Amino acid sequence: MSAGVKLSTVCASTLYPEKCEQSLKPVVNDTSNPEDVLRAALNVALDEVAAAFERSAHIGKDAKDNLTRNAMDVCKKLLDDATEDLRDMARLKPVEVLGHNSTELSSNALAIITRLGELLPEQDKKTNATTAAGHGRRLLSRTLVGINEVASEAKGQLEAVKKAMFSGGEPDLAHRVLTTDLVGTFDEIADGRSGLKSSDLPEWMPASQRRLLQMSGLQKPNAVVAQDGSGNFKTITEAINAVPKSYDGRYAIYVKAGTYKEYVTVPKNMANVFMYGDGPTRTVVTGDKSNTGGFATIATRTFSAEGNGFICKSMGFVNTAGPEGHQAVAMHVQGDMSVFFNCRFEGYQDTLYVHANRQFFRNCEVLGTVDFIFGNSAALLQNCLLTVRKPGESQSNMVTAQGRTDPNMPTGIVLQSCRIVPEQELFPVRLQIASYLGRPWKEYARTVVMESTIGDLIKPEGWAEWMGDIGLKTLYYAEYANTGPGAGTSKRVNWPGYRGIIGQAEATQFTAGVFIDAMTWLKATGTPNVMGFTK
C-alpha cells in the first residue's frame, strides 16, 4: 500500500473536484493516508445527509393528498437508510484481508462504493416521487443538491483511494473464473425437506438445469408459513416480525404453497434471512398497488428485500395492477449480497426494481413491458428467462432502464446467458409492437447483454432513447457473444455511448466474479453460479 495519496488526485476523479477539495481540505492534507481520506469522505457525506434530513423534516406535513404524503414518507425513509449505511461504513474495523496489510475499509472498497451509489438514485426517486407535491418538491430538490455532489465526490474519492491502497496489485479476479456450475448447499442442510419435485420446476429450463435444481438441498426452517394453519404463522409478515433481533447465522423461513395477498418487507436491520417456497408458481406473493392508484413507484412494491444477505428460492412475486396501472413494482431489492434462485417476478411496467447494492439472480423468470428491470444496483441476471408481455395501447417494451447517474458508480444491469422471448399474447403482434433491450433512465446508464439468446421481437436498433439525446453520449451499452434472430448488430443505434460488440477482455469486467465481486460471497450462499463466461 502506498504511503499516501494527494487530495488533488483524489478529487480529480469526481464530478465536482472544487467542492471535493473544499469539503475535505479542512480535515486532510495532500499526503494523508488513503484510509484517512476515505473516512473523511464518509464523514462529510454523513454530515450532508443528516443536514438534508433535518432540513426536509417539515416538508409534506400539511399535505392534503395521499400521493404527496406518501412521496414524502418514502423520501424520508430513503434518507434515513442512507444515513444508516454511512454510519455502518464509518464503524468498520481494521483486519488482514486479500493478502494486503490493509483494513476492512480497503478490502470492501467495491462494496462501499456500490453502497454509496444508492444515495444518488434515491435522490432521483425522491424528486420523481414528489411530482404532485408542487412547492414541497422544489424545497426538497434544493435540500438534496449538496448530497448529490458529496455522494458523487465520495465515490470518486473511493475509486482513487482503492487504487492507492492496492498499488501493489489488486486481486486477480478476472482470471479466477469458473466455467462450470458450482453446486453448494445451505448451512444445516435438510434433515427436513430434501429438494424440489420435477413438477415444481419451470418447463423452459433445460433438463440439466432442472436436475441441478433438484440436487440443491434446502435448510431446515426456523419458521413455517402456511395459510391452512399447519405452520407457525399464516402470513409471511407475521413470520418476519417474529425473527429474533439478534440471531447468529442464517434464519430460514419456509413458505408453503399458496397465494399470499400481502405487502411484505424484509427490513434493513434484518440481515441473512433465507426464504424459500414450493415453487415459483405455487408459493406466490401478490399485490396490486400502482402509480395510477396513487402510490409513488417504490411504494407500489409487493415485496421489498432491504436487509443485507437476503436469499430467496422457489417463490413467485406478482403485481396485478396491469398495463393501466403504469409503474407497479412486484419486487424491490435494496440489500447488499442479495440472491434470488428459481424465482418468478410478474408485472407490467417496473416489475423488478434492482434498487441498490450487489444482486444476483439465477434461473429466474421476469415478465413485463415498460422498463421491467430497472434501478441502479450492480445486478447480474444469469441463466434467466425474460418474458416480454403485450403492453398497453401506444406503449413500447423496454427490457431494462438502468439509472446510473455518475461514471464513478460500479453499478449496472448485466444479462448473462439469458433468453429474451415474447409471451404467448404478444407473439402474433411481436413485430408490430416495438420492443427494445433498454433505454437510459439516467445519463450514465450501463447495461450489458452477453451470451444471451435474443428473440426476433427486439427491433434491429436494439436500444431506445429515453427523452431526446439525454444520456446518449455518456451511457454505456454493450453486447457480447449473443445469439438468436435479434442479436444482429449491423442496424444497431449509432450513439456515442453505444459500445457495440465488445471483446472478451472488456466483457470479463461484467462476469460475476468481477462485476459483483462474487468470489468473496456468492459461493457461501449455496447458489449454483458461473463466475466467468458460460460459453
Sheet bearing 264-266, strands edge to edge: 264-266, 303-305, 331-333, 352-354, 373-375, 397-402, 435-438
CA torsion, ordered 256, 257, 259, 263, to nearest 10 deg: 30
Q: Give the span between the Cα atoms of 134 and 54, in whole angstroms.
A: 20
Q: Which three cell numbers stand for residue 412?
A: 449496472
CA distances from 337 to 122, 187, 439, 523 (A): 19, 17, 26, 11
In three-state secondary structure terms, 45 is helix
CA 137/CA 121 separation, integer angstroms: 16
**In which order are the strands placed within the sheet that holds 385-388?**
258-261, 283-287, 316-319, 344-346, 365-368, 385-388, 419-422, 453-454
Length of the chain: 535
Closest CA to 295 of 125, 122, 68, 123: 68
The separation between the first and the last C-alpha atoms of the chain, rounded to the nearest angstrom, is 37
Lookup result for grid cell 444482486 = 359
The residues near 142 (Cβ < 8 Å, ≥ 6 apart) are none
Q: What is the dihedral of CA 147, 148, 151, 153, to 10 degrees?
A: -110
DSSP string, 57-96: TTTTTT--SHHHHHHHHHHHHHHHHHHHHHHHHHT-----
Contact 526, 216 (CB under 8 A): yes
**β-strand pairing of 397-402 with 435-438:** parallel
CA separation for the pair 70, 53 (Å, rounded): 16
Question: Out of 81, 85, 336, 371, which one is annotated catalytic?
Answer: 371
Joined grid coordinates for residue 236: 409471511
CB 66 within 8 A of CB 289: no
439469458: which residue's cell? 418
Q: Is the dihedral of CA 216, 221, 227, 231 positive or negative?
A: positive
Active site residue 371: yes
Task: Note the Cα 395 to chain centre separation in Å.
Answer: 25
Q: What distances in angstroms separate CA 200 from CA 66, 197, 245, 281, 314, one per listed residue?
A: 41, 5, 33, 8, 8
Residues carrying an active site annotation:
371
